Structure 1
């Protein structure tokens, strides 16, 4: 199964096209192909990633058509919103009603939701987040693959297991040939249309070397490229965008500048924010977020992080739990409970009805059921780990990561089975 549906080009205005999917229209930017009205394309993240032969597209659409509408019906059924608890707090209900109509909720209102402890309120919060997700974004669920090609890092992040001061970790760096082999497998064998290239801040990879890698990928494989490489020269990110990388996964981890400095002695929140603004100016799709449950973090700080990410104009959110690593200075602290993270993700959906919300691997790592629970609580994006099995265990940013011992084939089968059961289409239709 492809992790995108072919769409028919209905209109072209400069490099912006309108694409039709079974009567639904979406916009996408075309930077790579000579297109005409009537052509068929694959799009990811609001960008055209491949022009596809008409006959092949029609064959694929024929196999998709019945399933496409079947999934929609399931999603609509499971996302219906009702409240059979009329005695719930009126102020709580006012915030819920406000959000379901797409109106902005305030920081104070968001905090009220995050702090709720009544099981009936929590249940309605999750149902409302799922309703809002379906209302504004339909049943599309992004399925991206991630390739962790190096665990070498010059940073000293106090929560991260691959930080430069962890002398117990076996380091690795895939060469570009090995990375291209993984990409080829992901695209040609498994049908991925979106891939994340992730590493520690590894200075052994020159910017020119990575630029060549991006160009080689785009030349040989029709795929949407996310970069998750940390802080590099501004020039690199401008040239990487032109070379074919169109998205950046770049978390700020906390919007509290004092806490940020304590966690990142090598950097500053001001510099981190500068990069996110640079990415926005260049034109990248931006995925960002923070850690939830950091030592000393209050609920107010979590809401501040959400508001901060939205103000930055993030297109996708990556908020996951803090998980202490035994070989870091924060090893003695506790992981937040799953329910708190799920509540937070639901509140985030009410804050931003339109953003994509990723179910992080960290959340899946603290609870095997969390992926489904998160998707039913407002989330609509997942990532599958494509890192070669000989190396994946060494990308040890936190212990006991989910799917480290699971084959790509099994990850895909499990993901597709889950998405089908809740009515989600494993595709990104664009904007």
Structure 2
């Protein structure tokens, strides 16, 4: 860290100057730090930091060069208007209109889709270089008081086994992810479990923060505005809450007893009070149109989302009649979201998309996405978090998931920004 003014820190990162908020009290210029999600989360021993930087320095440059070569814009097609005009604007870092976005969401021909994907990937590189966020997600309970019609965890679901992790189990699982595998960003998620009060959840967050240098994102559903304040005060800094759809009537039809406005009130309150937000919608909802999907993407931008999260609706034991989106429809939506999103926003490859397609992670990252999640829920519980059928990574160890993502990022030239530099060298895992 080169300087700090009040809570604003300036950090030198492989020759690049970056800024972050610092809420730690024992930090001064010249210290080595971990920064995640725009926050300084931990002070690092100087000898350890220098050793790791020496290890990564050459490799980081190799990764940058690889990503740059794989992120070139496609050759223009002057006779393909208006698509080429939209792609030209996007490639130059300019914003696009709602009509432009709607047009992108109607592209169907394989060659034209490939140009869309490649342009979105170039936009990703323009704004985020080769950084890729790798978060660990810990699902602590599959109890839920809501009854969303498409969700396998809904209150009226006939799940064979419900589970609720104890305080000690949660803390131990968090420790394994953070200390055992180097995760620096952790998502705590559950259904809207009435047994988990905001006070209990806030105490869990505070204890994890007390024990570890880690960035915490929470995803517990609608905990109330006061509940959000308690979680923020405890040290959580990001909120994962999809609004699912921007269509209020469609939302009401799929969420009995709930309203879109209450959902959005949480997100707006979070934004107002300093949270980073991760939000988005579902692709392929019954009754969804191109217009409503375009509005979903625009709403995520209006909410100043730090990360766009769009995934397919998949079948569950409650809804066997759902026809999931195709891989190309998902990639088209991710690419369009990347092009329409504010520059600072990231786009997530969701586990649902990975469940839909075995190629989702790599293809999504090459179509504008720059974030993934690895499941760090204990294996004895993981399969029971059955939001939808056949969930990806339900039986994979954390070690296997970590090895796979590091190998993929190495191949694509991406640097895993939310896994500590103490992770095994990518070159050793090649």
- CA distance in 2 between counterparts of 1:168 and 1:407 reads 23
The TM-score with structure 1 as length reference comes to: 0.95
The yes-or-no answer on 1:178 pairing with 2:169 is: yes
Partner of 2:18: 26
Give me the CA root mean square deviation.
1.2
**1:132 is matched with which residue: 117, 123, 140?**
123
Judge conservation of contact 2:198–2:230 (CA < 8 Å) in 1: no
Q: How does 1:200-219 map to 2 (within 5 A)?
A: 200-219=191-210
CA shift for structure 1 position 103: 1.4
- Answer whether contact 2:185 2:418 (CA < 8 A) is retained: no
For the Cα contact (< 8 Å) 1:85–1:120, is it kept in 2? no
Helix, strand or coil: the match of 1:35? coil
**Unmatched runs of 5 consecutive residues or more in structure 2:** 420-430
Equivalent residue, structure 1, for 2:360: 370
Distance 1:53 1:31 in 2: 18
Task: Note if contact 2:205-2:231 (Cα within 8 Å) is conserved in structure 1.
Answer: yes
Of 408, 414, 417, which residue of structure 2 is paired with 1:418? Answer: 408
**Larger RCO (CA within 8 A; separation ≥ 6):** 1
CA distance in 1 between partners of 2:205 and 2:37 (Å):
17
Residue from 386, 391, 410 that aligns with 1:401: 391
Show the counterpart of 2:43.
51
Structure 2 distance, partners of 1:71, 1:132, is 18
Aligned residues: 418
Q: Is the 8 A contact 1:155 1:164 kept in 2?
A: yes
Listed as ranges, the matches of 1:149-188 within 5 Å are 149-188=140-179
Partner of 2:307: 316
Verify the 8 A CA contact 2:83 2:104 in the aligned structure 1.
yes
Is the 1:140–1:428 contact (alpha carbons within 8 Å) kept by the matching residues of 2? no
1:333 is the counterpart of 2:322? yes
The match for 1:295 among 282, 286, 290 is 286
Q: Residue 247 of structure 1 aligns with which residue?
A: 238
Q: 8 Å contact 2:77–2:84 — kept in the other structure?
A: no
Matched, 1:143 2:134: yes
In the alignment, the residues of structure 2 paired with residue 324 and residue 46 of structure 1 have an alpha-carbon distance, to the nearest angstrom, of 36
Q: Does structure 1 residue 386 correspond to structure 2 residue 376?
A: yes
Aligned residue number for residue 340 of structure 2: 351
The answer for the alignment partner of 1:5 in structure 2 is none
* Cα offset, 1:366, TM superposition: 0.8
Q: Secondary structure at the match of 2:11?
A: strand
TM-score (norm 2): 0.95
Name 1:4's counterpart in structure 2. none
2:75 matched residue in structure 1: 83
Structure 1: any 5+ residue segments left out of the alignment?
1-8
Task: Tell me how far 1:82 sits from its aligned partner.
Answer: 2.8
